[in-house]
Amino acid sequence: MESKCDASAAIISASPTSSPPPPQLSPRLVLSPCAACKILRRRCGDKCVLAPYFPPTEPAKFTIAHRVFGASNIIKLLQELPESQRTDAVNSMVYEAGARIRDPIYGCAGAIYNLQRQVSELQAQLAKAQVEIVSMQLQRSNLLELIHNMDQPNQEQHNMSFDSSFGNCDEFISSPDEESNDFGFIEDNKYSNTIPSTLWCDPLWI
């Protein structure tokens, strides 16, 4: 009985206490088909020509181009071009298709015509503005010249009056009828002869 217990204990001790963890599986990548293949309802392979240019997040881009050009023509055009030019070609097709949908008669040519007309109108407005600027500058120069011509006679008249006032002062100073006395005051000889000398000689206290 003891031997059976020892054997069972040995088996339990020899068995691992916990089972090993299950191997981790790598997550499976789910590739969404491009917008072109989704609309055309076909399988999108790894070598799909349309996948790099029509992502699944932009279905309207392929819808517009497919409506005007068709999927077969788009694929044929992309296959004939090098990869460096395919992005620009797709953008051009999408823009031209959108213009054709908006204007079925003229399409992209109508958009180009409208842009050229806007450019012509803006150029005409620019030329008109430049003419107005030149006219305003000419008026300003004429006004400044007129103001200068009006101020010049006033300045000359002012100078003449200033010179004449200096001439009168010189005559007043250099007049022979006026002499200065010992006290530095100016005496007029014409009036000194008429005034009696007694007025100057008689004392004030008499």
Q: How far apart are CA 59 and CA 45, in angstroms?
A: 18
Tell which wins on pLDDT, 93 or 187. 93
pLDDT value, residue 107:
87
Is pLDDT at 27 greater than 70 in this prediction? no
Fill in the DSSP letter of residue 83.
H
What's the whole-number average pLDDT of the chain?
A: 75
Contact 71, 36 (CB under 8 A): yes
Share of the chain above pLDDT 90, in %: 43
Contact 36, 62 (CB under 8 A): yes
Residue 101's pLDDT band, with cuts at 50, 70 and 90, is: very high
Is pLDDT at 9 greater than 90 in this prediction? no
Is pLDDT at 67 greater than 90 in this prediction? yes
Write down the H helix ranges in the chain: 2-14, 35-40, 59-68, 71-80, 83-102, 108-173, 189-192, 198-201
How far CA 206 is from CA of 8, 179, 201, in Å, comes to 172, 30, 12
pLDDT value, residue 12:
45
Q: How far apart are CA 34 and CA 55, in angstroms?
A: 5
Is pLDDT at 25 greater than 60 in this prediction? no
Is this structure's pTM higher than 0.85? no
**Alpha-carbon torsion (126, 132, 136, 138), positive or negative:** positive
- Per the DSSP assignment, residues forming a β-bridge with 178 are 188
pLDDT 10s digits, 109-156 = 888 999 999 999 999 999 999 999 999 999 999 999 888 888 777 666
Encoding tokens for residue 105? 């008669």
Q: How do the domains of the chain map onto residue ranges?
A: 35-102, 108-147
Residue 68's pLDDT band, with cuts at 50, 70 and 90, is: very high
Encoding tokens for residue 33? 């088909």
Neighbours of 90 (CB within 10 A): 21
Write down the H helix ranges in 15-107: 35-40, 59-68, 71-80, 83-102
Point out the least confidently predicted range of 32-46, 86-100, 125-139, 189-203: 189-203
